[in-house]
Amino acid sequence: MNAIYILWLRSQKHFVRSKAQIVSSLGQPLL
């Protein structure tokens, strides 16, 4: 369970630090 949480946290950090991913995830529903 701990390993799953750590890997999830890593994915969140990847997401937050990737501007392109944030822009596309917000922009896609609008489009």
Partner 1 sequence: MIEVDDLACKFGDFEAVKGISFRVAPGEIFAFLGPNGAGKTTTIKMLTTLLKPTRGSIRIDGLNPTSHSSDVRRRFGIVFQDPSLDIVLTAMENLQLHAALYGVPRGQRHERIEKLLRQFELWEKRDQVTATFSGGMKRRLEIARGFLHTPKVLFLDEPTLGLDPQSRHQLWNHVRAVNQAEGVTVFLTTHYMDEAERVAQRIAIVDHGSIVAMGTLAELKAQTGTESLEAAFLKLTGTTVRDEAASSADQMRQFMKAWRR
Backbone torsions φ then ψ of 25, nearest 5 degrees: -70, -30
DSSP state letter for 29? H
Say whether residue 13 binds partner 1 (CB under 8 A). yes
Instruction: Give the one residue of 1, 17, 28, 29 binding partner 1; rule: CB under 8 A.
Output: 17
Q: Given the complex with partner 1, which of 14 and 25 has the nearer CB atom?
A: 14
Closest CA to 12 of 3, 24, 22: 22
Say whether residue 6 binds partner 1 (CB under 8 A). yes
Positions in the binding site for partner 1 (CB under 8 A): 2-3, 6, 10, 13-14, 17-18
